[in-house]
């Protein structure tokens, strides 16, 4: 049946994200899913095929959704919106976190699923970000430099998802909690990034669009 198949994918995704591919046993999955040991091989052929289905399912349910912003928004407002959305994804506790967990594992050791993941999920967001960064800089700034600066923005967001253990250990549980509220972190990263971009813009050409003025 299809219900069994879905249940299996759902359960497998959670367990794979929690324990990794090797440490998750098919018995454990079937037990949690309330199915028979043989059901996985019946529906998917083998464990690896089930894993792939789970990964696919994970980023199906976490749509890229490039933020549509209000008409007439200034570039800094756009940047703030993008960063806010990123931090929402990174920190939102509502998100069944195993989706991101599973994707992170994929990124840590990329398989064939990784590229598809980037193309479908990350590329659109990055393209949007690159647009806004471009708007905030004089045209004289070369593409590769703009990409590097966009990385600087993205990097700050990723840290809060992908380097949690370090962060927690460095500043203590208490401070880390304060740093990882969506609003606060989005505000801080936005301010920092706008400052950084303005600095580049100022150096590059004083005649440029003066992005900092509107912040």
Which residues are near a second copy by CB under 8 A?
A: 20, 22-23, 104-105, 107-110, 114-115, 118-119, 122-123, 126, 143-145, 147-149, 151-152, 154-156, 158-160, 162-163, 165-167, 169-171, 175, 178-179, 184-185, 188-189, 191-200, 203, 212
Q: Is 102 in the site for DNA (CB under 7 A)?
A: no
Residues 9, 12, 15, 26: which binds DNA (CB under 7 A)?
A: 26
Stretch that binds DNA, among 45-53, 99-107, 133-141, 183-191 (CB under 7 A): 45-53
Cα 167 off chain centre by: 17
d(CA 189, CA 195): 10
Stretch that binds DNA, among 2-10, 56-64, 128-136, 181-189 (CB under 7 A): 2-10
Stretch that binds DNA, among 46-54, 81-89, 104-112, 194-202 (CB under 7 A): 46-54
d(CA 159, CA 153): 11
Query: Which of a second copy, DNA, none binds 43 (CB below 5-8 Å, type-dependent)?
Result: DNA
- Other C-beta atoms lying within 10 Å of the C-beta of residue 38: 10
3-state percent breakdown (helix, strand, coil) of the chain, nearest 5: 75, 0, 25
Residues with Cβ within 8 Å of 193's Cβ and at least 6 positions away in sequence, in order, are: 79, 83, 152, 153, 156
DSSP string, 145-176: HHHHHHHHHHHHHHHHHHSHHHHHHHHHHHHH
Q: Is 38 in the site for DNA (CB under 7 A)?
A: yes
User: 70 or 112, CB closer to a second copy?
Assistant: 112
CB of 55 to DNA, least distance (A): 16
């Amino acid at each position: 049946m299809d219900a069994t198949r879905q249940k299996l994918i759902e359960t497998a995704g959670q367990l794979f994200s929690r324990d990794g591919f090797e440490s998750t046993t098919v018995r454990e999955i079937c037990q949690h899913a309330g199915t028979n040991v043989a059901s996985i091989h019946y529906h998917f052929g083998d464990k690896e095929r089930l894993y792939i289905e789970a990964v696919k399912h994970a980023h199906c349910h976490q749509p890229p959704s490039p933020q549509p912003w209000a008409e007439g928004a200034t570039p800094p407002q756009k940047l703030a919106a993008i960063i806010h959305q990123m931090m929402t994804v990174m920190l939102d506790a509502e998100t069944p976190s195993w989706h991101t967990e599973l994707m992170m594992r994929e990124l840590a050791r990329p398989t064939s699923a990784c590229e598809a993941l980037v193309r479908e999920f990350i590329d659109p967001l990055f393209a949007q970000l690159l647009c806004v960064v471009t708007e905030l800089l004089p045209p004289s700034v070369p593409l590769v430099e703009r990409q590097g600066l966009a990385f600087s923005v993205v990097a700050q967001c990723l840290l809060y998802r992908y380097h949690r253990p370090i962060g927690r250990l460095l500043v203590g549980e208490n401070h880390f909690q304060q740093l990882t509220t969506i609003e606060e972190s989005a505000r801080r990263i936005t301010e920092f990034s706008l400052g950084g971009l303005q600095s580049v813009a100022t150096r590059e050409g004083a005649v440029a669009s003066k992005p900092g003025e509107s912040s």
